[in-house]
């Protein structure tokens, strides 16, 4: 401790500078608050440094390599296509550096102070920040907890050089010849697909009945079919990792499938079975903030915890661990602190997975609507009926619209196919604005584009499709 540690006063303090924290800090500053953000690591958090951004860069590079190797259908062949993975990593790191540098500039431009160190609550209006060689107490009117989450380590698979999590998978020094992925959720499938595109032999072990169980089976089936076509991916469902034997240059993973023990050798085993919220070791027990047994902080519609001046957002609260969810909640929290009536509404929050092809969903699925007794119409239009998809040689997939039967209002949408991550935004906007399928159908979409598939699905929902015989 430092003698003479006189408290520094702040209006609002944000703990964590990831996509939830830095956005909350900027919005709070815009609303006239004196704000500081506390971060023990790099600005941008997991998402920008070892998550969303670097993984998508790696996925993009893998696509480039696979396209160079396999464009014979278009009459294009290439010889001696090589991967310099050191350069791939340098390029990926350059993307990360640009974005994190941009965040630093945005915080500075909005007069948000950045404090390096770890925060620990003394009481509901003060905390202490421990840095590398100093400690300082801060008092505040309001605090926003945005500390994110950490990969879960499972029994028998302790982190090491060869037993890696998503962070390790993004910084490998070479393209592995073989890799085992434990967990067929979105992180495991994205990274597994990326390395499969680089030519790695990938074995996926999923404990559930299906991979990507956060998406409809009809969607994940398209992804599974695409992976099987690659010829270097093997998927085991109802499979449980039992242990790993590690050597200097590889691993042997033992796993059980339907009561039968198997093993597979690989260069690495990537464990992606979920993430645990970073809600411990903050001193929240000192101030009465309610946390459940899974580490989730209880919050209300304005991201307020059980302590009225303490807010929490992102991976430490209920809901999917999505960067855009954290950013959204951060803005709501900042506005609530400023007295605005902002409230969280999750209906139109999209979820995206960057597999081959991409998956995206927003709003209700048919099953969710049925469970709530909502009578709906379902319209599904295939990519194969779209001119742009044909010209891209990407005809796998569909756009599915879920609309209320009584008035045609769109309440859900699911997409599997090329650029699903981009197309979903139009449909999310339509749900947010309470638009009907007729509104979508009557919107003139540029031709030829993949966005036309949404229009075609809307026309199908109305009963008069143009490019499909009903």
Question: Is 436 in contact with 376 (CB distance < 8 Å)?
Answer: no
Q: Which of 63, 445, 447, 467 is catalytic?
A: 447
315 known ligand binder: yes
Q: How many whole angstroms separate alpha carbon 470 and alpha carbon 446? A: 24
CA-to-CA separations, 6 to 1, 120, 141, 354, in angstroms, rounded: 12, 16, 17, 49
- CB proximity list for 119: less than 8 A, separation 6 or greater: 13, 15, 38, 127, 128, 129, 282
Question: Is 180 in contact with 192 (CB distance < 8 Å)?
Answer: no
394 known ligand binder: no
Residue 232 CB coordination number (10 Å): 16
Q: How many whole angstroms separate alpha carbon 27 and alpha carbon 25? A: 6
73 known ligand binder: no
160 known ligand binder: no
397 known ligand binder: no
185 known ligand binder: yes
Question: Is 295 in contact with 280 (CB distance < 8 Å)?
Answer: yes
182 known ligand binder: no
459 known ligand binder: no
183 known ligand binder: yes
Cis? peptide before 455, omega within 30° of 0: no
Per the annotation, the verdict on 447 as an active-site residue is yes
Q: How many whole angstroms separate alpha carbon 154 and alpha carbon 188? A: 15
186 known ligand binder: yes
Q: How many whole angstroms separate alpha carbon 417 and alpha carbon 358? A: 5
Q: List the beta bridge partners of residue 381.
A: 399
DSSP 45-60: HHHHHHSHHHHHHHHH
- SS3 assignment for 110-164: CCCEEEECEEEEEECCEEEEECCCCEEEEEEEEEEECCCEEECCCCCCCCCCCEE
Burial 74-103 (b: 16+ CB within 10 A, else e): eeeeeeeeebebeebbeebeebbeebbeeb
263 known ligand binder: no
Q: How many whole angstroms separate alpha carbon 425 and alpha carbon 361? A: 10
131 known ligand binder: no
56 known ligand binder: yes
148 known ligand binder: yes
Q: How many whole angstroms separate alpha carbon 161 and alpha carbon 169? A: 11
319 known ligand binder: no
Bind-site residues: 56, 147-149, 183-190, 206, 274, 315
Bind-site residues for NAD(+): 183-190, 206, 274
- Residues that are catalytic: 447
Bind-site residues for FAD: 56, 147-149, 315
């Amino acid at each position: 401790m430092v003698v003479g540690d006189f408290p520094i006063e702040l209006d609002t303090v944000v703990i964590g500078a990831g996509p939830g924290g830095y956005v909350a800090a900027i919005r709070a500053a815009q609303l006239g608050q004196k704000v500081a953000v506390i971060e023990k690591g790099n600005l941008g958090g997991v998402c920008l440094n070892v998550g969303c951004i670097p993984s998508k860069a790696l996925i993009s590079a893998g696509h480039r390599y696979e396209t160079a190797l396999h464009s014979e259908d278009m009459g294009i062949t290439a010889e001696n296509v090589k991967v310099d993975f050191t350069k791939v990593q340098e390029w990926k790191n350059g993307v990360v550096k640009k974005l994190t540098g941009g965040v630093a500039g945005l915080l500075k431009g909005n007069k948000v102070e950045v404090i390096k160190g770890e925060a620990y609550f003394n009481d509901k209006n003060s905390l202490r920040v421990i840095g590398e060689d100093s400690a300082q107490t801060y008092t505040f009117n309001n605090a926003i907890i945005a500390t994110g989450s950490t990969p879960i380590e499972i029994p028998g698979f302790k982190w090491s050089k060869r037993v890696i999590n998503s962070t390790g998978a993004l910084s490998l020094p070479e393209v592995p010849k073989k890799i085992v992925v434990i967990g067929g959720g979105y992180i495991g499938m994205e990274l597994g697909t990326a390395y499969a595109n680089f030519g790695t032999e990938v074995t996926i072990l999923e404990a559930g009945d299906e991979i990507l169980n956060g998406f409809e089976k009809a969607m994940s089936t398209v992804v599974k079919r695409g992976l099987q076509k690659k010829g270097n991916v093997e998927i085991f469902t109802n499979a449980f990792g039992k242990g790993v034997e590690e050597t200097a240059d590889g691993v042997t993973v033992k796993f059980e499938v339907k009561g039968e023990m198997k093993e597979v050798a690989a260069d690495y085993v990537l464990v992606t079975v979920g993430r645990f919220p970073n809600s411990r070791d903050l001193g929240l027990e000192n101030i009465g903030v309610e946390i459940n047994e899974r580490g989730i902080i209880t919050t209300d519609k304005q991201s307020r915890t059980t302590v009225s001046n303490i807010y929490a957002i992102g991976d430490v609260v209920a809901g999917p661990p999505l960067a855009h969810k954290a950013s959204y909640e951060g803005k709501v929290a900042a506005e609530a602190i400023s007295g605005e009536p902002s409230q969280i509404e999750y209906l139109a929050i999209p979820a995206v997975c960057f597999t081959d092809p991409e998956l995206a969903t927003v709003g209700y699925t048919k099953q969710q609507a049925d469970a709530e007794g909502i009578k709906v119409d379902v319209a599904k239009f295939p990519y194969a009926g779209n001119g742009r998809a044909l010209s891209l040689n990407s005809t796998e997939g569909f756009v599915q619209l879920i609309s209320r039967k009584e008035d045609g209002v769109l309440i859900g949408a699911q997409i599997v196919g090329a650029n699903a991550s981009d197309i979903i935004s139009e449909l999310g906007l339509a749900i947010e604005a309470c638009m009907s399928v007729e509104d979508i159908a009557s919107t003139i979409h540029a031709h030829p584009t993949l966005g036309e598939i949404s229009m075609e699905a809307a026309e199908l929902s109305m009963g008069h499709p143009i490019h499909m015989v009903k």
